[in-house]
Amino acid sequence: MLGVIYIRLGGRTLLWDAGNMKVSNLSEANNSLHYEYRKGWTA
C-alpha cells in the first residue's frame, strides 16, 4: 500500500510512523491510507 501511495504522490519521501500507523511527513499520504466505508459496513 505504501508503494502505491509513494507512486501516486510523485515519488516524494514517506516517513512511516509504525507505532501510530501513519505517514508522519505528508498529511495527503495519510488521506490515502483510510477508506470511508459505505453505510452498513464497519472496519
Q: Looking at the predicted structure, is the pLDDT value of residue 23 above 80?
A: yes
Q: Looking at the predicted structure, is the pLDDT value of residue 25 above 80?
A: yes
Percent of the residues in the chain that have a pLDDT greater than 70, as a whole number: 95
pLDDT of residue 7: 92
Confidence of residue 43 (pLDDT cuts 50, 70, 90): low
Instruction: Record the cell numbers describing residue 17, joined without a space.
Output: 510512523
Q: Which of 42, 43, 10 is nearest to 26 (CA)?
A: 10
- Exposure of 2 in the CB half-sphere (CA atoms within 13 A): 12
Domain-by-domain residue ranges, the chain? 2-33
pLDDT of residue 30: 87
